[in-house]
Chain A
């Protein structure tokens, strides 16, 4: 079974703090994604990566950056967290058209 693991299930941060969300997949998938999920808005794509050190902006990249130094690991970075970044963050890898999601990281910014 494919396993996508997100390092933190719940985080509480203060406005202005730097936040790292880590994601690791164990199936050697090339494509990895970061989404945020908000009620009534569904999943919105923040960034994706199709290879090591490669990254592409999704639909809502503002306020976020990403890092992919190793194939299995895709990190989402909030340089200076703001309250409007309070959300559920979902990492996924993709193979054969199917997205495999982690359990999500619920971030609250106070």
Chain B
């Protein structure tokens, strides 16, 4: 069974602080995605990483895929209250992620103004 473990489960920080969220697995994935879910909404895709060692930047968010394609991290610089939400990592196997995507349990981030 493929599992994705996220840490920490919960994070409460002050506006302006930096943070890193981790997603780890013993399985190899062809791609790994990060989604953000706000209260009362469905998850929305932030980024997909497909190459081992790949780093992608999305404004203040930096995503990295591990060299062995088993883990990923999300780093947020100078967090803002608008970053508050549930961050989910999701791993897929096969071309275009096949039919099944495995989700981690999520990291709930709260950024205080």
Contacts and interface: CB of A to CB of B under 8 A. Distances in A.
A29 B45 CA distance: 17
Binding site of B, secondary structure by majority: helix, strand, loop or mixed? Answer: mixed
A98 interface: yes
Given A40-B9, A43-B103, A97 B97 contact: yes
Interface string B72-113: 000000000000000010101000110111011110000000
Interface string A6-34: 00000000000000000000000001000
B48 A42 contact: no
A74 interface: no
A62 B91 CA distance: 23
B42 A102 contact: yes
B105 A99 contact: no
Interface string A75-101: 000000000000000101010111101
A48 B45 contact: no
Contacts of B33: 97-98
A48 B102 CA distance: 13
Given A40-B9, A42-B106, A101 B88 contact: no
B88 A97 contact: no
Contact-residue size bin, chain A (C-beta under 8 Å from the other chain): 20 to 34
Chain B's interface size range is 20 to 34
Given A43-B88, A103-B41, A48 B96 contact: no
A107 interface: no
B100 A101 contact: no
Interface in B34-73: 35, 40-45, 48
Contact of A58 (B45, B48, B100): B100
B42 A90 contact: yes
B105 A103 contact: no
A44 B3 CA distance: 11
Interface of A: 4, 31, 35, 40-45, 48, 50, 56, 58, 90, 92, 94, 96-99, 101-104
9 closest Cβ pairs, A-B complex: A101-B42, A42-B105, A43-B103, A97-B96, A97-B97, A42-B103, A98-B45, A101-B43, A102-B42
